[in-house]
Amino acid sequence: MKALVCTTPRQFDYINTEMPITAEGETLLKIERIGICGTDLHAFEGTQPYFNYPRILGHELAATIVETKAIGFTADDKVTIIPYMHCGNCTACNSGKNNCCVNMRVFGVHIDGGMREFVTVPNHALLKSEGLSIDELGLIEPLAIGAHAVNRAAVTKGEFVLVIGAGPIGLGIAQFARIAGAHVIVVDVNDDRLQFCSTNVGVEHTINPLKQDVMEALKLITRNNMPTVVIDATGNLDAINNAFVYLAHGGRYVLVGLQKEQISFSHPEFHKREATLMSSRNANVSDFEHVMECIKNGLVQPTNYITHKVAFDEVATQFESLLDPNSKVVKAVVVF
């Protein structure tokens, strides 16, 4: 069996390894698709927190069941997985927040992931296809991240929601904020991605900070009230720190993008707003179910996000090109 290992930052190696052995309570999967996300790109760059090398990347997957004893599943079923392996016993798990388990092990981050031909996963991680295509299944997880962030922010109809970053996660956040009835504003320095937001996601307002004064644009759009929700999907330290002043009084600021360094902001500016700052980590089962239901009802067309497909045998040589803005990648998917 072939696997692709990120051995050190900016180094991939293909290795031949034994077929995985299925233990009690596990299912053997044949990988069909792996979505490449910001976590994978940051791991390749060497900037991903919670990460050790060597590691097999890949947590956004679509697969076919080879062998299982999971109730309700059979061989040849098409599935995706919830890739957040939780302990079930900590204070977070006991309160229904498996997504931020104290002992969290994320597939492809803390433990080896799906960038290989076959893999075993716990039965409880499986999600049936519900009639969705292989390509759609491979995008459920990143969309669930966006749905969870919108849920964390408690977005309501008619609010102005500012999404910073128009990568795949930002696009998902914008999509589900729109589904919640919000007026969505997206900020990004890449005009191609901003155009994608308008054309494919139906975003009402876009701002390029290299060409516009963000504060003035926000005041104009919101009639000086400013967004009641700001959600960062960049993980960029400057972007995170600068966005505190974009928040309306009484607003909520949600950090989805992850930064290794300390964030900083003016306490008086934050305090006078009586603002709420929160993080949004991973997603819950209900978020995955919400995403799948929205796709089935035609509210989300995830395959529109896929701009690049890469054969598994070519990932090592093509991966670095996906970091280049000139490649105009929105979402890249590995095909097995």
Residue type, 112: D
Predicted local distance difference test score (pLDDT) of residue 48: 77
Predicted local distance difference test score (pLDDT) of residue 257: 92
| Mean pLDDT score of the chain | 95
SS3 22: coil
Q: Is residue 29 part of a domain?
A: yes
Domain span at residue 233 reads 146-279
Clarify whether residues 174 and 216 are in a common domain: yes
Task: For the chain, give the number of residues.
Answer: 336
Query: Residue 212: left (phi > 0), alpha (psi -120 to 50), or beta?
Result: beta
Last residue of a domain, one of 279, 310, 326: 279
Clarify whether residues 158 and 109 are in a common domain: no
Task: Tell me which residue has tokens 């390509």.
Answer: 135
Farthest-apart Cα atoms in the chain, separation: 61
Q: What whole-number distance in Å separates Cα of residue 171 and Cα of residue 142?
A: 10
Clarify whether residues 128 and 164 are in a common domain: no
Residue 312 pLDDT exceeds 90: yes
For residue 96, give the CATH number of its domain: 3.90.180.10
Percent of the chain whose pLDDT exceeds 90? 92
Give all strands (DSSP E) within 224-325, no chain letters: 229-232, 252-255, 276-279, 306-311
Q: Is residue 177 part of a domain?
A: yes
Q: 83 near 108, Cβ under 8 Å?
A: yes
Predicted local distance difference test score (pLDDT) of residue 221: 98
Q: Is residue 222 part of a domain?
A: yes
The tens digit of pLDDT for each residue in 274-286 reads 999 999 999 999 9
Chain centroid, CA 177 distance in Å: 15
Clarify whether residues 106 and 9 are in a common domain: yes
The tens digit of pLDDT for each residue in 178-216 reads 999 999 999 999 999 999 999 999 999 999 999 999 999
pTM: 0.94
Predicted local distance difference test score (pLDDT) of residue 52: 87
Residue 50 pLDDT exceeds 90: no
Query: CA–CA distance from 4 to each of 17, 18, 131 (Å)?
Result: 10, 13, 30
Helical H segments across 128-266, by residue range: 134-137, 140-153, 168-179, 191-196, 214-222, 237-242
Question: Radius of gyration of the chain from Cα atoms?
Answer: 20
Q: 103 near 56, Cβ under 8 Å?
A: no
Q: Is residue 120 part of a domain?
A: yes
Q: What whole-number distance in Å separates Cα of residue 237 and Cα of residue 244?
A: 12
Q: 120 near 29, Cβ under 8 Å?
A: yes
The tens digit of pLDDT for each residue in 97-122 reads 999 999 999 999 999 999 999 999 99
Sort strands 229-232 and 160-164 into parallel, antiparallel or unpaired.
Answer: parallel
Clarify whether residues 115 and 20 are in a common domain: yes
CB atoms within 10 A of CB 7: 12
Clarify whether residues 55 and 170 are in a common domain: no
Comparing CA positions, the residue from 231, 75, 217, 213 lying closest to residue 152 is: 231
Clarify whether residues 133 and 6 are in a common domain: yes
Residue 42 pLDDT exceeds 90: no
Q: What whole-number distance in Å separates Cα of residue 153 and Cα of residue 241?
A: 18
The tens digit of pLDDT for each residue in 224-238 reads 999 999 999 999 999
Predicted local distance difference test score (pLDDT) of residue 98: 95
Cis ω before 54 (30° cut-off from 0): yes
The tens digit of pLDDT for each residue in 134-172 reads 999 999 999 999 999 999 999 999 999 999 999 999 999
Q: Which residues contact 5 (CB under 8 A, 6 or more apart)?
A: 12, 13, 14, 15, 54, 55, 56
Q: Is residue 290 part of a domain?
A: no
Clarify whether residues 35 and 134 are in a common domain: yes
- Total domain count, the chain: 2
